[in-house]
Amino acid sequence: MSSNKKFCETTKCLLLILVTVAAVIAIICVITFSDENLREKRYEKADLKWWQTSIVYQIYPRSFQDSDGDGTGDLRGIKERLGYVSGLGVGAVWLSPIFRSPMRDFGYDVQNYTEVDPIFGNMADFDDLMKEAKAKNLRVILDFVPNHTSNDSKWFYLSERGDAKYKDYYVWNDGLNCSSGCEATGGKRPPNNWLSVFGGSAWKWSGIRQKFYYHAFLDSQPDLNLRNEEVKEELKNVMRFWLQKGVDGFRADALKFMFESKNVTQNETGLSDPFAWNEEDNHNLTTNFEDIYGILKAWRKVLEEYGSDKFLIAESYGISHDVRNKYYESGSIPFNFALIQYLNASCDAQCMKSVIKESMADLKPSYWPNYVIGNHDNHRVANKFGPETIDAFNMLLLTLPGTPTSYYGEEIGMRDTFYTYSETKDPAGLNFNETLYLEHTRDPERSPMQWNDTFNAGFSNGTPWLHVNSNYKVINVKNQESAKYSHLKVYKQLAELRQKSSFTYSNLTFVDVDDVDENPKKILSYIRTQPGQDRYLVVLNFGHLYANDVDLSKSAGSKRGEVVVNAMSNYQVNTEVDLTRITLSRGQGLVIKVK
Ligand code: GLC
Ligand code: MG
């Protein structure tokens, strides 16, 4: 009896100990891995992957540097300019498509994914470029276009002809019977009202196959059938091909368009033609299908075959936070287009603060943030917000948390270039008439890089595919390298500054601005720091008026600081500044080390 009791007690005791130990372990785990604790952890550069401490610099290859005088930029041209690029302080270049293409959408219509287009050079030029980039410690990210190919691709050619292997590589449909006016389409009409991003029906009749094919973009960009296992394998092998060549990752194009409803009898409602690709909701039959995430996960596995530090950033306009989080969970980083999509010239500092806050909302610390303010599909910063704000926007982009992506030329404040209708090259513009094209053309932001004040701004000895902006004698790299103050110099200072560990993690604290004279509408201010590190105060005037004697001292917790970077203002770098009375006008900004 008594031994029995003893046994019982021992078991109880053991159980108690076990439960206690398990609970302690669980608590330790929760604390260690909780989001809050991640916020408290101090991040050193060594803890982070290269893409977490790098600026990504987007090069539009056609417009960067022409080496052979044919008027179009090329790989050798880019290689020649890598010294400049690394001198900016960026860590990676993303090249818009360089693959063989009939260039109807300037490379986003790929004919062969594993060949370099002759206009850009050849594979040896690519290998040279990679070598040079490695030597300069620059990572290389390629564009990856999985949603569609060119209709000139071998795959489409064979698919259109019903080849046994390729017939289901694209999205084909018989269409509906049509009683009149459909002679040109075999007496058929499209199966539904789905629209192309570039305008008009997303279905195109193939007289050869006697079926319609689906194209989210141009009719020369047929959508791949990503429900076909062989197509998925092909794309993975394309990734492997370039990873073997040493690329560091991909920017994946137009992912939200990868799947469409299998039920083609349904129409989409509430459509505008063409549809704004940043619309969130009403394309529920043609965008944002759950199947995307399975594909992303499979790609992440492929990337991991080549190391744990490969980068995958996804084009992702108009996605909800829920969708954004799924992109993260699937091993990619969705571009944060908040600054591109939700800011306009009338957005004051308060509005900007809420746009930034909203874009960071529900972002787990393990989801690495990123910001982007311009690219080859959007107007240049100087034109959207006014040339007086160029430095302020670079200051914002480069001091926000996470990975920034800069579009070529933004570092020198390049402007949109005007092209007449007859000069226009972009199909997104040419799909419209002479009155409407300006709303759609993307040529203005694709004008050649302005290197110096010589012929064609040093871009090409020939006739540039798009003419150089006539302001090139004033706005160019060479001028800005020699000027005492320039956009370029501010950019470089910011790029250097953001290497400091105070900027390396995702913590950002907005600073309250005294509510005098509408200051909160003018001044956007925040602190970047990490536990035990210097505190940097960023102060930017994005209002429309002068802000006089703004008191930031309470939120900043100090009255004194030292100017580290100056954007356009009268303050001098390396001088002391009184945080109780900061005066800035629109477009001026400061990074201040708080004392
Ligand atoms: C992406 C590209 C854009 C291209 C489109 C179709 O949105 O950024 O330039 O036209 O995809 O490929
Ligand atoms: Mg060339």
pLDDT digits (tens, 9 = 90+) for 269-324: 877 666 665 655 578 899 999 999 999 999 999 999 999 999 999 999 989 999 99
* 388 is an active site residue: no
The strand pairing partners of 509, in sequence order, are 527
Residue 30 is predicted with a pLDDT of: 54
Distance CA(246)–CA(384), nearest Å, equals: 37
Rounded distance from Cα 134 to ligand 1 centre (Å)? 28
pLDDT at residue 37, as a whole number:
44
Instruction: Using the structure block, give the residue that is written with the tokens 């300006």.
Output: 438
Residues 6+ apart with CB under 8 A from 536: 399, 497, 500, 502, 503, 527, 528, 529, 564, 591, 592, 593, 594
| Any atom of ligand 1 within 6 Å of the Cβ of 315 | yes
pLDDT at position 275 is 65
Of the candidates 494, 547, 556, 500, the residue with the CA atom closest to the CA atom of residue 525? 556
**105 Cβ inside 6 Å of ligand 1:** yes
Q: Do residues 546 and 582 make contact, with C-beta atoms less than 8 angstroms apart?
A: no
Q: Is 108 in the pocket of ligand 1 (CB under 6 A)?
A: yes
Q: 250: which residues sit within 8 A by CB, 6+ positions away?
A: 141, 142, 143, 144, 239, 242, 311, 312, 313
Among this protein's residues, is 253 annotated catalytic?
Answer: yes
Q: What confidence tier does 36 reach under pLDDT thresholds 50, 70, 90?
A: very low
- Determine which of 272-276, 329-333, 419-423, 572-576 has the lowest per-residue pLDDT on average: 272-276
456 pLDDT higher than 70:
yes
Report, in angstroms and rounded to the nearest whole number, the Rg of the chain calculated over CA atoms: 27
Q: How far is the CA of 61 from the centre of ligand 2 (A)?
A: 9
Nearest bound ligand to the CA of residue 120: 2
Mutate to test the pocket of ligand 1, among 217, 223, 255 (most ligand atoms within 8 A of CB): 217
Predicted confidence (pLDDT) per residue in 87-126, tens digit: 999 999 999 999 999 999 999 999 999 999 999 999 999 9
20 or 545: whose pLDDT is higher? 545
Q: How confident is the model at residue 10 (pLDDT cuts 50, 70, 90)?
A: low
pLDDT tops 80 at residue 41: no
Strands 249-252 and 139-144, how do they pair? parallel
Q: Sort residue 392 into left (φ over 0), alpha (ψ -120 to 50) or beta.
A: alpha
Q: Which of 138, 144, 117, 309 is nearest to 238 (CA)?
A: 144
Is residue 21's pLDDT more than 80?
Answer: no
Mutate which of 103, 377, 442 for ligand 1 pocket (most atoms within 8 A of beta carbon): 377
Write down the pTM of the prediction. Answer: 0.93
Q: Whose CA is nearest to atom 4 of ligand 1?
A: 108
User: What's the CA-to-centroid distance between 72 and ligand 2, angstroms?
Assistant: 4
Tell me the pLDDT band of 7, cut-offs 50, 70 and 90: low
* Residue 109 Cα: closest atom of ligand 1: 12
Is the predicted pLDDT of residue 2 greater than 60, yes or no? no
Ligand nearest to the CA of 101: 1
**Residue 12's pLDDT is what?**
74
Q: Does any ligand 1 atom lie closer than 6 A to the CB of residue 426?
A: no
